[in-house]
């Protein structure tokens, strides 16, 4: 057993409860965390020096096992639905105690102090306690890293405790099954048990910021990536999992602000995180050089496989999961902006991965259409980040991230609408999904074309183009775009069977309309008028 590198007064490490694992490793460097992982036989280095691990039973988030404690703090503020599942406070205490007992029994634990929110006005101090050294490396990579000065008198606002090895008894703990991801706003605790999927740690903090920032600080929190051009113009990219936030924000011609979570304040946008969490499936140096080169010492690669007899990663191998991932600190991307704070956004992109092949690859939205799309939050999920999803399937998720938003979707939508109008932000809908037919017949849009469409929009090259209105969705499609063959800009042209296209468009419009029913009474006439289906 190794000795702790830094000895610190352990009684201060947790607000209460923790008697002590035999060894507490506090604030280890990435090198030390890598060594500890190798020592325990829980990971290996690949040929470029990154640490490769398996997260175990869970290789994606488990939304059905994510609970918010329903107590006097949250009862009236949280929007309780099948994504914000309530759990009684008594179970919080039971699970907390179980975790404390568990931490006492295991030989070592790793503790890290870090923070979220690049804008110091909104900084949130986090103490992450992990059973595994690699979960701790994930926290190092993904959250912001305090300097020595900032560590003196570090006062955690929130705690995250992650114990993948602890399996709960659902009857005793009020959970669905043996694993849980539980948030208590009263106790300022995120408790994770039974799952080693590191994304639970990241999305736990995202969930609480999506409550604290809009509810208490008037800051709009967003599930989006963001980058900045040479002239300081900021762009944000909203989208559900797999739609391209991480891929498309890593653009060598623009500075990366962040790949997944941002706040929009009165005078800026800022990243919540200090790192990226990129998908690795089918990763190639040619198509995604920035991400490919981030796989180096310090990066944490999850659930990939090697070519037999080597330690060279086969990025095409999805035998463990489609959702292979790598986390790395923001500065592993060559042109990352630090601190990750940008100006008010000039362009907003809504990314969707439409497996029906109906939506145009690039289109311009009116303010009403923009709000309609934001509230709808459509994509057709490709194989996934969530346990149990392996086939593409249409999904509507309000604000492009309903599983992480504890407040009513209308809260975020109203804030976005107000900001968009005030700043006259351009809004574009980008379909990174299918062209030439639906999944099974057509193909996914070429990444290089999507990049060209986004560049053209950002550089103002579409401003004076001729546009045509989509017959069912009413969005404005440019008739040409630099770097993109014109015949793919109207998706109807790419289908051999035009009748089939028209039918699928109407079918998809029907799904939008049906999904929107529950919001219709609470939104303006302008937004209702933007519904698809009436533009022929």
- Stretch of residues binding ligand ATP (CB under 6 A), selected from 91-99, 121-129, 275-283, 335-343: 275-283
Is 246 catalytic? The answer is yes
C-alpha to C-alpha distances, 96 to 174, 183, 250, 272, 417, nearest whole angstrom: 13, 11, 39, 26, 40
What phi, psi does 108 have (nearest 5°)? -140, 150
- What tokens appear for 422 in the block? 């005030």
Closer to ligand ATP by Cβ: residue 188 or 444 = 444
Question: Angle, nearest 10°, between helix axes 30-39 and 133-142?
Answer: 160
Sign of CA pseudo-dihedral 347, 352, 356, 357: positive
> Mind giving me the DSSP string for 321-344?
-S--EEEEEGGGSTTB-SS-EE-S
- SS3 (DSSP) at 71: coil
Q: Which member of 125, 135, 141, 246 binds ligand ATP (CB under 6 A)?
A: 246
DSSP β-bridge partners for residue 279: 325
Which is the catalytic residue, given 207, 260, 304, 379?
260
Among 61, 127, 187, 279, binds ligand ATP (CB under 6 A): 279
User: In this complex, which beta carbon is closest to ligand ATP, that of residue 245 or of residue 419?
Assistant: 245
Taking CB under 5 A as the criterion, the residue among 246, 324, 397, 450 binding Mn ion is 246
Task: Work out whether strand 261-264 and strand 300-302 pair parallel, antiparallel, or are unpaired.
Answer: unpaired
Question: Are 245 and 239 in contact, with CB atoms under 8 Å apart?
Answer: yes
Instruction: Tell me: does residue 411 bind Mn ion (CB under 5 A).
Output: no
126: three-class secondary structure by DSSP: strand
Catalytic residue among 245, 254, 346, 364: 245
User: How many angstroms separate the CA atoms of 302 and 327, rounded?
Assistant: 8
- Looking at the Cβ atoms of 111 and 353, the one nearer to ligand ATP is 353
CA–CA dist 384, 393 (Å, integer): 11
Task: For residue 6, give both structure tokens.
Answer: 């830094």
Per CB under 6 A, 262 contacts ligand ATP = no
Whether 246 and 260 have beta carbons less than 8 Å apart is answered as yes
Has 254 been annotated as catalytic? no
Quote the tokens at residue 193: 């048990």
Q: Which of these is catalytic: 25, 66, 223, 254? A: 223
The region of 211-219, 236-244, 303-311, 481-489 touching ligand ATP under the rule CB under 6 A is 236-244
Nearer to Mn ion, 214 or 275 (CB): 275
Annotation says 393 is catalytic: no
Give the distance, in angstroms, between the CA of residue 431 and the centroid of all CA atoms in the same chain: 18
Q: List the one residue from 25, 61, 245, 364 that touches ligand ATP (CB under 6 A).
A: 245
Nearer to ligand ATP, 127 or 202 (CB): 202
Per the CB < 8 A criterion, the answer to whether 481 and 450 are in contact is: no
Nearest approach, Cβ of 13 to ligand ATP (angstroms)? 31
464: left (phi over 0), alpha (psi -120 to 50) or beta: alpha
Among the residue ranges 61-69, 157-165, 206-214, 259-267, the one whose residues contact Mn ion (CB under 5 A): 259-267
Q: Kindly identify the residues of this chain, within the stretch 103-162, that bind ligand ATP according to CB under 6 A.
A: none
- Beta carbon nearer to ligand ATP, 13 or 430: 430
- Catalytic residue from among 225, 246, 321, 425: 246
The residues near 261 (Cβ < 8 Å, ≥ 6 apart) are 206, 209, 221, 222, 223, 224, 271, 272, 273
Interface with ligand ATP includes 275 (CB under 6 A)?
Answer: no
Q: Tell me whether residue 61 or residue 245 sits nearer to Mn ion (CB atom).
A: 245
CB of 245 to Mn ion, least distance (A): 5
Which of 137, 168, 427, 445 binds ligand ATP (CB under 6 A)? It is 445
Q: Active-site residue among 55, 198, 207, 241?
A: 241
* Pairwise CA distance, residues 354 & 333, whole Å: 28
Q: Which of 27, 184, 247, 494 binds ligand ATP (CB under 6 A)?
A: 247
Q: 3-state DSSP helix/strand/coil percent for the chain, to nearest 5?
A: 30, 25, 45
* Residue 145's binding partner out of ligand ATP, Mn ion, none, with CB under 5 to 8 Å set by partner kind: none
Which one of Mn ion, ligand ATP, none is in contact with 444 (Cβ closer than 5 to 8 A by kind)?
ligand ATP
85 binds ligand ATP (CB under 6 A): no
Note whether 134 and 53 are within 8 A (CB). Answer: yes
Q: Is 223 a catalytic site residue? A: yes
CB of 254 to ligand ATP, least distance (A): 15
**Which residues ranging from 469 to 508 are in contact with ligand ATP (CB under 6 A)?**
none
Which among 26-34, 228-236, 241-249, 469-477 is the span making contact with ligand ATP, rule CB under 6 A? 241-249
Number of residues that bind ligand ATP (CB under 6 A): 20
Q: Which of 98, 203, 364, 451 is catalytic?
A: 203
Interface positions, 292-321, toward Mn ion (CB under 5 A): none
Task: Please list, in sequence order, all residues whose beta carbon lies within 8 angstroms of the beta carbon of residue 460, skipping any fewer than 6 positions away.
Answer: none
Segment near ligand ATP (CB under 6 A), from 50-58, 93-101, 149-157, 246-254? 246-254
Is 127 a catalytic site residue?
no
- Please report, as ranges, the residues that interact with Mn ion according to CB under 5 A: 245-246, 260
List the catalytic residues: 61, 203, 223, 241, 245-246, 260, 325
């Amino acid at each position: 057993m190794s000795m702790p590198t830094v000895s610190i007064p352990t009684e201060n490490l947790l607000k209460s409860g923790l008697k002590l694992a035999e060894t507490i490793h506090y604030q280890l460097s990435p090198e030390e965390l890598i060594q500890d992982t190798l020592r325990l036989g829980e990971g290996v280095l690949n040929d470029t020096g990154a640490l490769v691990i398996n997260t175990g039973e869970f290789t994606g988030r488990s939304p059905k096992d994510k609970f918010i404690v329903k107590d006097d703090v949250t009862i009236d503020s949280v929007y309780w639905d099948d994504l914000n599942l309530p759990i009684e406070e008594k179970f919080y205490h039971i699970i907390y105690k179980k975790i404390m007992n568990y931490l006492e029994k295991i030989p070592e634990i790793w503790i890290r102090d870090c923070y979220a929110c690049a804008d110091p006005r909104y900084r949130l101090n986090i103490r992450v306690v992990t059973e595994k050294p690699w979960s701790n490396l994930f926290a190092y990579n993904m959250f912001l890293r305090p300097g020595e000065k900032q560590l003196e008198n570090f006062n955690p606002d929130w705690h995250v405790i992650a114990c993948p090895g602890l399996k709960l008894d659902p009857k005793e703990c009020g959970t669905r099954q043996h694993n849980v991801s539980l948030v208590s706003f009263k106790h300022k605790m995120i408790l994770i048990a039974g799952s080693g999927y590191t994304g639970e740690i990241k999305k736990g903090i995202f969930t609480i910021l999506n409550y604290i920032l809009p509810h208490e600080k008037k800051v709009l929190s967003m599930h989006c990536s963001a980058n900045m051009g040479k002239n300081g113009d900021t762009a944000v990219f909203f989208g559900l999992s797999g739609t391209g936030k991480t891929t498309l924000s890593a653009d060598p011609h623009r500075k990366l602000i962040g790949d997944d979570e941002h706040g929009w304040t009165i005078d800026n946008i800022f990243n919540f995180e200090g790192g990226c969490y990129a998908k690795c499936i089918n990763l190639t140096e040619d198509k995604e050089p920035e991400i490919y080169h981030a796989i180096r010492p310090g990066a944490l690669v999850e659930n990939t496989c090697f070519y037999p007899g080597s330690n060279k990663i086969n990025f095409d191998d999805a035998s463990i999961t489609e959702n292979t991932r790598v986390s790395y600190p923001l500065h592993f991307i060559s042109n990352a902006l630090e601190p990750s704070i940008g100006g008010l956004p000039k362009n907003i992109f809504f990314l969707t991965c439409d497996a029906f092949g109906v939506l145009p690859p690039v289109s311009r939205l009116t303010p009403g259409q923009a709000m309609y799309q934001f509230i709808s939050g459509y994509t057709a999920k490709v194989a996934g980040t969530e346990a149990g999803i392996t086939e593409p399937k249409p999904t509507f998720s309000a604000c492009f991230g309903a599983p992480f938003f504890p407040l009513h979707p209308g809260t975020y939508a109203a804030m976005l609408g107000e900001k968009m109008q005030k700043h006259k932000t351009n809004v574009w809908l980008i379909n990174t999904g299918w062209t030439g037919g639906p999944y099974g017949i057509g193909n996914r849009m070429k990444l290089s074309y999507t990049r060209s469409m986004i560049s053209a929009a950002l550089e103002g090259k579409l401003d004076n183009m001729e546009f045509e209105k989509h017959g069912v969705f009413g969005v404005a499609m440019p008739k040409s775009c630099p770097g993109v063959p014109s015949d793919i800009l109207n998706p109807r042209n790419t289908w051999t069977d035009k009748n089939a296209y028209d039918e699928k468009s109407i079918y998809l419009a029907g799904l939008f309309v049906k999904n929107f029913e529950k919001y219709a009474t609470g939104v303006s006439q302008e937004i209702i008028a933007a519904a698809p289906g009436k533009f022929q």
